[in-house]
Structure 1
Amino acid sequence: MAEADIITAIVSALKADGNVAGLAADRVYGGELPNAETAHMPRNCIVVKPSGGVSIATGSFSDHDTQRLDLFSYGTTPFEAEALRRLSRRALVNIRRRVVERCLIHWVEPAGGFTAGRDPDAAWPTAFQSFQVFHALQEV
């Protein structure tokens, strides 16, 4: 049995959300912003990256784990970047025991507050928030 890909699942869930798609279209990426996309920036898009954090499944023998994810939303203006972050938050926290891209996601919760500002390298408007995801490790 193959290992589930939580980043692909979260990207797919965000793309499937009508409110998120209304602002970002299909510009939701895992890991980093593709080089082809940078030529069109700043515009509305999302990047989901894995980050560190403590697993709540430590010491258990379950085929489940938690993963902390960082969500970066970009916009043509600071207002749009923040609006996209808010819509993404709502889409993610509404995931409850759902299979997405063969990955069983039990829940997604904010892992702290949010921040907004400008990308330090390119000065694009951005907003940021971390999430903790509890999911199955094996594809279903």
Structure 2
Amino acid sequence: MIIALVDALKADGNVAAIAGARVFGGELPKGETRHMPRAAIVLQPSGGVSLAAGSYMDHDTQRVDALCYGATPLEANALGGICRRALTSIRRQVVSGCLIHWIEPAGGISARRDQPTQWPVAFRPFQAFHALQEVS
């Protein structure tokens, strides 16, 4: 599902205008770090309670954290807002073989500096409800 969300953000014109193709799953690639700080998004799966727990559905929810980097704190926060609008606009859509029913914020924004690099980063958590089986 992370790959689908990365692909959805890369396809969003507003995200692409700021971050280009610098949207990644898991972590920043080593080759990117020498160019930081600049606009980039990293999506990471994180914990949380499944809304499908105890059911036999072929669907689940996944908490996803978006780390939105920028050259300044203001740029990181602005990219975080653009990321939020792009992700929460997804409704019952197949992206890269993954049926995503919805994505909602799972908390507020947290602006900080990445440790130990001190790069500005805006943290935004999301919850996504998606199918477990690939869709063609």
Common fold: TM-score over 0.5:
yes
TM-score bracket for the superposition, by shorter chain length: over 0.9
2:129 counterpart letter in structure 1: F
Q: How does 1:1-140 map to 2 (within 5 A)?
A: 6-140=1-135
Task: Give the gaps of 5 or more residues in structure 2.
Answer: none
Helix, strand or coil for the counterpart of 1:112?
coil
1:16 counterpart letter in structure 2: A
Output the CA distance in 1 between the equivalents of 2:47 and 2:58: 19
Helix, strand or coil for the counterpart of 2:106?
strand
Aligned residues: 135
Output the CA distance in 1 between the equivalents of 2:4 and 2:110: 24
Task: Give the gaps of 5 or more residues in structure 1.
Answer: 1-5
TM-score normalised by L of structure 1: 0.95
For residues 67-103 of structure 1, the C-alpha deviation after alignment (integer angstroms, 9 at most, x for no partner) is 0000000001111100100000000000000000000
Aligned residues with identical type, % of pairs: 64
With 100-109 and 116-125 compared, the bigger mean Cα shift is at 116-125
Helix, strand or coil for the counterpart of 2:9?
helix
1:106 counterpart letter in structure 2: H
Output the CA distance in 2 between the equivalents of 1:58 and 1:114: 27
How far has the Cα of 1:120 moved from its partner?
1.8
CA RMSD, Structure 1 to Structure 2 (Å) = 0.5
2:43 counterpart letter in structure 1: V
Helix, strand or coil for the counterpart of 2:107?
strand
1:134 counterpart letter in structure 2: F
How far has the Cα of 1:117 moved from its partner?
1.7
